[in-house]
Amino acid sequence: MKYDAAQDQPAASARTGSAQRPSRVSDNRLGRERVTIAGVPIDNVDDDEALASIERMVTEGGPHYMVVANAAKVVAASRDRRLKEILLQADLLTADGMSVVWAARLLGRPLKGRVTGIDLFERLVGLAAANEWPVYLLGGTVASVEGAASKLAVRHPRLRIAGHRNGYFEACQSSEIAAAIKKSGAYLLFVGMGSPRQEKWMMDNLAPTGVRFALGVGGSFDHVSGLARRAPAWMQRGGLEWLYRLAREPRRLWRRYLIGNALFGWLIVKQMLSRSRRSPAAYE
């Protein structure tokens, strides 16, 4: 049976650890500009700045984690208080989807651009190889995670893959898996289990893994392994990846993209209306 994080309730120790973690809203130690999108503060950084921030996190030691946000995740956070807390407490939160970038422009606070999970994942693997930081891959099917590990090892001969495991496990196995990750000595943990499962798993298990930095990468293992194809570059640039995915899996994704995008649009309209009633200084 696959672990269903949506039904999972965190253990008492996990809740306690979460409560003790300072909110990123009041603890912007790195001085990054943030743009609030429907109550979610997005770090206004580009790919290079995000990579540099992560390198500092890994160098100073952990634990740290990052989340990438698209329209669906912002909508989910408006309904899921625990997911919202995870986003607020992330050490780095970037815009993964073009919908978030466009929303920022409409609100008069443009972002520097997208910092997607899959692109950052591949750049971080290269950085890890150059610095000989051990990495751990968690999530996907057996074929997906093993295929990703194999392809990455070929691309980066110096890469130290401390371990990998598929994402199909019971909630009661989480402690055992976290202990195995800690034993592996991994510095970086990439979690590809879909949202919000991957974010909730990272929040509950980050400290026990002993890693310095963790990133939720969604279906990146499928793409790296070759089991799935990413949208053409021109569709990525035009913000049409969602349409490409919808065309390939309409039954599974129609509700997420068609209804979810409409709900995201409504959240932005409400924010714009609220902003118009306040002074610009009170916007954030």
pLDDT digits (tens, 9 = 90+) for 232-259: 777 777 777 777 677 777 787 777 777 8
Question: How many residues are given for the chain?
Answer: 284
pLDDT band for position 223 (50/70/90)?
very high
What residue spans of the chain are helical by DSSP H?
12-20, 47-60, 71-79, 81-89, 98-106, 117-131, 142-155, 174-184, 197-209, 220-225, 233-237, 241-248, 250-254, 260-276
Specify the pTM. 0.84
State how far the Cα of 256 lies from the Cα of 262, in Å rounded to an integer.
10
Per residue in 80-131, pLDDT (tens digit) is: 999 999 999 999 999 998 999 999 999 999 999 999 999 999 999 999 999 9
User: Taking the domain 22-282, which CATH number applies?
Assistant: 3.40.50.10700
The confidence score (pLDDT) of residue 229 equals: 80
Q: Return the SS3 of 121.
A: helix
The confidence score (pLDDT) of residue 94 equals: 97
- The domain locations on the chain are 22-282
State how far the Cα of 97 lies from the Cα of 94, in Å rounded to an integer.
9
Q: Is the pLDDT of residue 58 over 90?
A: yes
The confidence score (pLDDT) of residue 241 equals: 77
pLDDT band for position 26 (50/70/90)?
very low
